Amino acid sequence: MAVYTEVSTEQVRALLLELKLGELQHMQGCAGGIENTNYFVSTRRDGATHDYVLTLFERLGFSQLPFYLRLMKHLAQRGIPVPEPTANAQGELVFDLRGKPAAVVNKLRGQSELAPTTEHCAAVGKTLARMHLAGRDFAMKQPNLRGLAWWNETVPVVLPELSAAQAILIRSELAFQNDVAASSAYAALPRGPIHTDLFRDNVMFETIGNEPHLSGFFDFYFAGVDSWIFDLAVCMNDWCVDLDSGAHHEQRARSLLHAYSQVRALSHNELELLPAMLRGGALRFWISRLWDFYQPRAASLLKAHDPSHFERVLRQRVQHPMQPLAMLQAA
């Protein structure tokens, strides 16, 4: 999250009243992230305080947003713990604020777990599988906009910033991913709406009775239709690696993979391609972080991500491929 577009309390108050969410009590710009302007807002309604997140979209247009917001609404209505967008009296979910498309969603309880245990990973795996199944009947379609086509377009843009060794790695991995995508095994992968960005800071946990309970997934604004196993790979590349070295964490990976497969059984084909998808997920975020680092935008609150982290993850995934079938058999 970041703040690129400043909005006044009067503008926010008017939108909240239109949505019948109550009288604005407090608003605060959110630091962290890089894509959109975000504010935490609190309102007073029916004698109680209610917390929301107001997002102004800096790159996504009015025509693009219905996919993301309708998907979140669809998942929330099927019992998946995600922020539910608020509609006005006409059923609209996207609003104009200072010329930017905007949306208001309920704020999830809890906080992110940045040092997850196997228990946290199991909860994430189970909920991710439930989310994939709940999205099967979502009617709207949109490709993963940060998928292979975007990688092919963006690598030439960031190549001049790389060392010779980095350029060799990124070119060779891109060629490998193009070969995988051309295979019949890849074409046969089951697909549906996916999150594509389910990192530790996009999941909330509450502690109830000294036990962690997953309270929600959020930040769906990279979502698109793609293979479910790619979504799982992106998730595992954050939850199941050592953040300093990028190395694979066996116990957390086994816990997440087993919990996912207990809800949605993984096919042999998916398990065979998971190591390639783990490499692809690492490549995707190395490219996007390079692009954001070397093509920055001004923001009043902004914390850039380190591109070198996913370079390390990619090297680890190439040199030490995971053995998912053996891991499930040992679980």
Long-range contact set of residues 119-122: C-beta below 8 Å, sequence gap at least 24: 119/212, 119/255, 120/205, 120/212, 120/214, 120/239, 121/239, 121/240, 121/252, 121/253, 121/255, 121/256, 121/259, 122/255, 122/256, 122/258, 122/259
pLDDT in tens, the chain (331 residues): 467 889 999 999 999 999 999 999 999 998 755 678 999 999 999 999 999 999 999 988 999 999 999 999 999 999 999 999 999 999 999 999 999 999 999 999 999 999 999 999 999 999 999 999 999 999 999 999 999 999 999 999 999 999 999 999 999 999 999 999 999 999 999 999 999 999 999 999 999 988 999 999 999 999 999 999 999 999 999 999 999 999 999 999 999 999 999 999 999 999 999 999 999 999 999 999 999 898 866 554 455 688 999 999 999 999 999 999 888 887 6
Looking at the DSSP bridge assignments, the partners of residue 43 are 24, 50
154 and 199 share one domain = yes
165 and 282 together in one domain: yes
Q: So what's the pLDDT on residue 36?
A: 87
CB count in 10 Å sphere of residue 164? 7
- Please give the pLDDT value at position 148: 98
141 occurs within a structural domain: yes
In a domain, 291, yes or no: yes
* 112 within some domain: no
Of 106, 133, 151, the residue at which a domain comes to its end is 106
Q: What is the CATH number of the domain that holds 91?
A: 3.30.200.20
Instruction: Enter the tokens of residue 191.
Output: 């697909």
Does 266 map to a domain? yes
Helices 308-319 & 164-181, crossing angle to 10 degrees? 60
Number of domains in the chain: 2
* pTM metric for this prediction: 0.92
Q: Which positions ≥6 away from 169 have C-beta within 8 Å?
A: 311, 314, 315
Cα distance between residue 150 and residue 132, in whole Å: 23
Helices (H) and strands (E) in the chain, counts: 11, 9
Q: Which of 43, 74, 106 is the last residue of a domain?
A: 106
Residue span of the structural domain in which 188 resides: 118-330
pLDDT, residue 331, reads 66
Domain assignment present for residue 139? The answer is yes
Cβ 253 vs Cβ 330: under 8 Å: no
Residue 1 lies in a domain: no
Q: Are residues 325 and 235 in the same domain?
A: yes
Instruction: Kindly tell me the burial class for residue 122, based on how many C-beta atoms sit within 10 Å of its own C-beta (0-12, 13-18, 19 or more).
Output: buried
Predicted pLDDT of residue 329 = 84
Residues 178, 304: one domain?
yes
Q: Are residues 71 and 194 in the same domain?
A: no
Cα→Cα distances 301→1, 4, 38, 107, 233, Å: 8, 7, 10, 20, 30
Instruction: Identify any residues that bridge with 37 across adjacent strands, giving them in sequence order.
Output: 2, 56
CA R_g for the chain = 20
Q: Between the CA of residue 215 and those of 51, 124, 222, what are the distances in Å?
A: 15, 10, 20
3-state secondary structure of 167: helix
Q: Note whether 313 and 232 are same-domain residues.
A: yes
pLDDT of residue 1: 43
Domain boundary among 106, 135, 161: 106
- Tell me: do 75 and 145 sit in the same domain: no
Residue 331 CA to residue 326 CA, distance in Å, equals 9
One domain, residues 46 and 130: no
Q: Are residues 279 and 169 in the same domain?
A: yes
Residues 36 and 155 in one domain: no
**78-115 in b/e burial notation, b at 16+ Cβ within 10 A?**
eebbbbbbbeeeeeebbbebeebbbbbbbbbebeebee
State CA 300 to chain mean position distance: 23
Start-to-end Cα distance in the chain: 37
Q: Are residues 231 and 318 in the same domain?
A: yes
The answer to whether the beta carbons of residues 198 and 281 sit under 8 Å apart is no
Task: Please give the pLDDT value at position 298.
Answer: 56
According to the model, what pLDDT value does residue 57 have? Answer: 93
111 occurs within a structural domain: no
CATH number of the domain that 295 lies in?
Answer: 3.90.1200.10
101: enclosing H helix or E strand = strand 100-106
Angle between helices 228-239 and 118-134 (to 10 degrees): 160
| Residue 71: inside a domain | yes
Give the pair of three-digit tokens for residue 166: 């980095």
Per-residue pLDDT at 210: 86
- Same structural domain, 101 and 187: no
